[in-house]
Amino acid sequence: MRPIAWTRIAVTVATISVIAAACASDTSEPSAAPTSAVPLEDQELVVSNWAAYTPEGLVEDFEKETGVEVTLLEDHVNNEDVVGKLQASDGVGRDVVFISGPYVKTLLDNGWIGELDHSQIPNLANLYPEATELAYDPGNVYSVPYTWGTTGLCYRTDLVDTEIDSWLDLLAPDPSLEGKITMLGTERWLLQPALLSLGYSINTQDAAQIDEAKELTIAAKQHLLAFDDTVFYEKLDSGEASMVHAWDGWCNYAVNENVEFVVPSEGSDVFSDTMVITEASENKEAAHAFINFVLEPENHVKVAELVLYKVPNGPAMELLDPEIVKAYPNLGITPEELLAFETELDLGDAQTAWSQAVAEIKAS
Partner 1 sequence: MARRDDAGTGNRAQGALFLGPGLVYWLALFLVPVGLILVYSFFRRTSIGGIEYTFTLDNYVRATEPLFVKVFLFSIRTALITTAIALVLGYATAYFIATRPVRYRLPLLVLVVLPFWTNLLIRTYAWIALLNNEGLINKGLRGLGIIESPLPLLNNQFSIVVGLLYAFLPLMVLPLYASIERLGPRLREAGADLGGSPTSVFRRVTFPMTIPGVLAGCIFVFVPSLANFIVPDLLGGGLKSMIGNLIQQQFFQARDWPFGAALAMWVIAITMILLVFQALMLRREGRMSGRGA
Task: List binders of partner 1 among 102-121 (CB under 8 A).
Answer: 106, 109-110
Binding marks (x or -) toward partner 1, 54..73, rule CB under 8 A? --------------------
- With CB under 8 A as the contact rule, the residue among 40, 135, 226, 345 that binds partner 1 is 226
Binding marks (x or -) toward partner 1, 9..38, rule CB under 8 A? ----------x--xx---------------
If the CB atoms of residues 319 and 353 are measured against partner 1, the closer one turns out to be 353
Could you say whether residue 169 binds partner 1 (CB under 8 A)?
no
Alpha carbons 312 and 145: distance in angstroms, whole number:
7
Could you say whether residue 362 binds partner 1 (CB under 8 A)?
yes
Contacts 24+ apart (CB under 8 A), 90-93: 90/14, 90/18, 90/27, 90/280, 91/278, 91/279, 91/280, 92/10, 92/11, 92/14, 92/278, 92/280, 93/7, 93/10, 93/11, 93/14, 93/46, 93/280
- With CB under 8 A as the contact rule, the residue among 78, 205, 209, 256 that binds partner 1 is 78
Q: Of 64-72, 165-173, 225-233, 308-316, which part binds partner 1 (CB under 8 A)?
A: 225-233
**262 close to 157: Cβ distance less than 8 angstroms:** no
Q: Of 208-216, 224-232, 273-281, 300-308, which part binds partner 1 (CB under 8 A)?
A: 224-232
If the CB atoms of residues 100 and 292 are measured against partner 1, the closer one turns out to be 100
- With CB under 8 A as the contact rule, the residue among 60, 81, 178, 298 that binds partner 1 is 81
Question: Cβ 227 to partner 1, closest distance in Å?
Answer: 3
- With CB under 8 A as the contact rule, the residue among 92, 131, 254, 358 that binds partner 1 is 358
Q: DSSP class of residue 244?
A: E
Q: How far from chain centre, in Å, is Cα 35?
A: 29
Alpha carbons 156 and 168: distance in angstroms, whole number:
17
Question: Cβ 305 to partner 1, closest distance in Å?
Answer: 27
Q: How far from chain centre, in Å, is Cα 129?
A: 20
SS3 state of residue 221 = helix
Among 279, 261, 263, 274, CA closest to 27: 279
Could you say whether residue 176 binds partner 1 (CB under 8 A)?
no
Handedness of CA 154, 157, 160, 163 (dihedral sign): positive
Q: Which residues contact 249 (CB under 8 A, 6 or more apart)?
A: 147, 149, 307, 308, 309, 310, 330
Interface residues toward partner 1, by CB under 8 A: 19, 22-23, 78, 80-81, 83-84, 87, 106, 109-110, 185-187, 221, 224-228, 235, 238-240, 348-349, 351-352, 354-356, 358-360, 362-363
